[in-house]
Amino acid sequence: MIVLPAWSLVLLAVVLPSPAREASPRASLDAVQDERATLKEQYRRKLGELAKDDVAGHFELALWCEEVGLKGEVKLVLRKVIALDPNHPEARERLGYVQQDGKWVLRDAVEEEKEQEKEEPAGKKPSTEGKVRFKGEWVPAADLPHLEKGLVRRGERWVTPEEAKRIDEGWKFLEGEWWSPEDAANVEKGLLPVNDRWVPKAEANVFHAVWDDAWVLSTANVRLRTNVDRDQAAALAARAEETFERLRALLGASPRGGEVLQIYAFRTDDEYRKYQETHGDEHGLVYGAFLSLRDDPPVGVAAAQKPDWAAYHVAHAVGHLFLRHLAGEKGVRSVPEWLQEGIAGYAEKGYDDHHRKWTLKQIEERGGLEDPAVVAKGFGLSGSDPEGSAKQILQTSLLVAYCVDGGEAVPARVRRAFEAALRGVARGQKQDIKRGVDALLKDPDLEKNVRAFAGLK
C-alpha cells in the first residue's frame, strides 16, 4: 500500500460539475444504459424504504421489477419474500416451486428427475460432484452466483442478457466497453469517438483528460469514471471487476440488490486531493483511496497519477465500497474498522504471496510486526500520523491473509471463528461478527501463528 507524501496533504476545495456531453456515435447505447441505471436507482430507493420484515412490500417491489424488466432483481426480492414467509404461494410459484409431499420443491427439478429415471440406464447417473441445482439443471457451484444474478456465459465472460444479445448480434467488447459492429470497425482501427467525430486514440485521450469529459467504462459489476489515458482506463476497469469477483468469493455473497459499484479514479494527485477535501475522511489522507459517503449512492475514490499504484488504489476503493453495499448502511457499522480495512487490503494485494512479502517488508521498515490483537483493538487512522496509519493498514491485511490462506497454520477453532465473522459481514448480523472477531482476537497463540505465517521468528 502507498502512503501519500506529507507535502501532498495540502487540500484545495473544488466543485466538480456534471459532465455535459454532445451526442456520440454510441448515443443509442448510452441511452439504454442510462435508462437501466435510472431503473436500478429507483429500485434501490424503493428497497431502502421498505422495512426488513415487510413481506407484502417486498412482494409488491418484485412485481414492479417484473413490470420494468429488472429480471435479476425480481428473483432477489422474491427470495427475500420466501425468506420472510417460506409459504408465500405467489412468490414460490414465480420462483418455479410446486408443492410435493407437503414441501416446496422446484418444478423443473421434479420433472427432470422423472425424465432421468426414464432415460438413464440402471446404475448410471450423471456425476453431480461440485454441482448444485439451478432451475432444474445441475450447474457448477462456482456458476451459481452469476446465474442467480441473471447473468449468462459468453466465452470466458459472464454478461447480462442485454450484453449477451449484443454479442449474438455481432457487438464487440473492446477498449473496456461494448461497441456495435459498425463502431467496432472504427475502434479496431485505433479510433475513438469524441462528440460526433472518430479520432485517433491520442486525440481522444487529450479530450477525456478533463474530468468533466472523463471516460465512463462499465463492466458487469463496476462503473468506472476516470480521466486517465484509455489503455490505463480499460486496465483499471478490468482490475475493478476482478477485485469484485475476489470479494464475492471471499465473502460468499454479492452486494444487495445487484448494485453496480461506482468508482472514480483521478488522473492527478491534485484532483484526488481536491475531491478528498470535499468528500473524504482520514482514510483519504493516509492512502490513495477512500469511500465518499457524500455521494449518493456512495462512490469509491482512487488516486491514479502513479500508474504502478493506480490499480491497487482502485482495488482498495472497490473493497470498501463492496462492503458498504453488501452489509448496508447500518450493517457495515457492525463490522470493526480493522476488519473492513483488512478485507479491502486482502482484496487489493494481500491474496498474493508476492505482494504479502512486499507488505511484510513495509511493516518491518516501520518497526516490525506488532501483536495483531493489540493492532485490531486499537485501530484508528489519523492524517497527522500517515506512517503509523499505513502500518496499521498493512498489518490488518496480513491478519486477514493469515486467516484465509494460512492453511494448517490456522487452528481449526480460529478458522471457524473467522469464517463465522465473514458470514456475519455478508448478512449484516452484528452478533455473528462480534462472536467471530472475539474468538479470533482472544486466541492466545494468534501473534505466534501470524508471525510463523509471515516467516518471522
DSSP assignment of 380-412 equals: ---TT-HHHHHHHHHHHHHHHHHHHH-GGGS-H
- Please indicate, yes or no, if residue 44 is contained in any of the structural domains: no
Q: Are residues 408 and 445 in the same domain?
A: yes
Q: How high is the pLDDT of residue 110?
A: 62
Mean local confidence (pLDDT), 10-17: 35
Check pLDDT > 60 for residue 9. Answer: no
> Cα separation of 312 and 295, whole Å?
22
Cell readout for 164 is 449477451
Residue 139 falls inside a structural domain: no
Domain boundary among 267, 294, 323: 323
Does residue 189 sit within a domain? no
Claim to verify: residue 363 and residue 268 sit in the same structural domain:
no
For residue 261, tell me if it sits in a domain: yes
Considering the domain architecture, whether residues 302 and 345 belong to the same structural domain is answered as no
Listed residues 323, 350, 365: the one ending a domain: 323
Q: What's the rounded mean pLDDT across residues 280-297?
A: 92
Grid coordinates representing 382 are 489519523
Tell whether 343 and 452 lie within a shared domain.
yes
Length of the chain in terms of residues written: 457
Residue 118: inside a domain:
no
Q: Is the domain of 213 the same as that of 98?
A: no
Residue 24 lies in a domain: no
In this predicted structure, the answer to whether residue 15 has a pLDDT above a threshold of 80 is: no
What's 233's domain CATH number? Answer: 3.40.30.160
* Residue, of 23 and 310, whose pLDDT is higher: 310
R_g of the chain computed on alpha carbons: 24
**Choice among 132-141, 349-358, 418-427 with the minimum mean pLDDT:** 132-141
Q: What is the mean pLDDT of residues 370-378?
A: 94
Question: What's the number of domains the chain is made of?
Answer: 3
Residues 351, 431, single domain; the answer is yes
Can you list the pairs that 442-447 forms with residues at least 24 positions away whose Cβ atoms lie under 8 Å?
442/373, 443/411, 443/413, 443/414, 443/417, 445/411, 446/371, 446/372, 446/373, 446/414, 447/371, 447/372, 447/373
Q: Give mean pLDDT, residues 54-80.
A: 87
To the nearest whole percent, how much of the chain has pLDDT over 70?
A: 86
Model-level pTM greater than 0.85?
no
Is a pLDDT exceeding 50 seen at residue 224?
Answer: yes
The band of 111, judged by pLDDT with boundaries at 50, 70 and 90, is: low
409 shares a domain with 309: no
Q: What is the pLDDT of residue 398?
A: 94
| pLDDT of res. 2 | 44
The pLDDT-based confidence of 423 (bands split at 50, 70, 90) is: confident
288 and 345 housed in the same domain: no
Domain-ending residue, one of 288, 323, 358: 323
Q: What's the pLDDT band for 4 if we cut at 50, 70, 90? A: very low
Model confidence over 386-418: pLDDT tens digits? 899 999 999 999 999 999 998 888 888 888 888
Parent domain of 101: 50-111
**Phi/psi at 280 (nearest 5 deg)?**
-105, -170
